[in-house]
Amino acid sequence: MADHKLSSIFLVFATIFAMANAQGLKLDYYKTSCPEAEEIVERITKQYVSHVPNFAAGLIRMNFHDCAVRGCDASVLINPTSSNNKTEKTAIPNTTLRGFEIIDAIKSALEKKCPGVVSCADILALASRDAITTINGPWWEVPTGRRDGKVSLESEANALIPSPFSDVTTLKQNFAALGLSAKDLVVLSGAHTIGVGHCFIIRSRLYNFTGKGDTDPTLSPHYADWLKTRCLPIASDSTSFVFMDRITPKVFDEKYYTMVTQNRGLFVSDATLMTDQETKSYIETQVKTKGSTFADDFAVSMTKMINIGVLTGSQGEIRKTCGAVNQ
């Protein structure tokens, strides 16, 4: 782990400082204002993820969904209120997010130690990294100093978060709008090596792909048959799920890419990565080399992602609780 951590530091070093310095973020931002901040985040995150490893996938997904809308400003954490009953949290892509209780527990502990100092945006960025390392995944530096946003709109989340039904052209456009490349797209999609996919998202792919009661022909027939034993054609079922990576579902490795090359990508957005030369080439290389660069590539792409549109300095605020803007 130490050697891998060291290699990740060197790989992301230039990226971190090119991006972070330009946006007012820096390593050890809380060194004097809240010295134990990062230690507290790590300790509580590990407590939760050690008990429920799937929280790691939940936090990475939450972090991406947050950064995709108004940048990494923790706007995805804001609860609906009487004055705004449709926040990002109520958007369709976010109804299956999990891990909010981890962020709340961390924030509560930090408020007792250093009231009004550590932002929810920084907590989410740090906890996502610590969750992945807890399951022996890659490590990356997280510069801090983010501020929390004050605006959270369901409509923006519905419009801006990349869809599991999108083709690769649309996905590349989505990522480009965030300052991310096609390589970042295929690398970050690799996070599907852990976690689950809900059946209601793939039900049409299994039972009514073109409106004629058919199955998506690009899906492996054997895999489709297996999925149908887990995801029944019950429209009201919104809770059933399957692992995204059936080979090693709880291990952060390259086996997601193996699934995709075998036409066993769970979502259309997974399968479509094989229709673009750049993303296909990356996938095939990781499969051939047993993920030789995947962990380090993931660290680099995450470093870019957590710096999207951050608020710093006097922008935004430091929320007292992560679920509500300050009054």
Query: 321, 9, 48: which is closest to 142 by C-alpha?
Result: 9
Mode of pairing for the β-strands spanning 196-198 and 241-243: antiparallel
What percentage of the chain's residues is helix, strand, coil (to nearest 5)? 55, 5, 40
Q: What tokens does 100 get?
A: 């909010």
The sign of the CA dihedral 61, 67, 69, 74 is: positive
Q: Are 197 and 241 in contact (CB under 8 A)?
A: yes
**222 is an active site residue:** no
**CB-based contacts of 9: which residues, under 8 Å, 6+ apart?**
141
Q: Are 40 and 110 in contact (CB under 8 A)?
A: yes
| Axis crossing angle, helix 168-177 with helix 182-189, rounded to the nearest 10 | 110
Angle (CA) 229-188-175 rounded to 5° is 110
Q: Which of 4, 65, 198, 222 is catalytic?
A: 65
List residues with catalytic annotation.
65
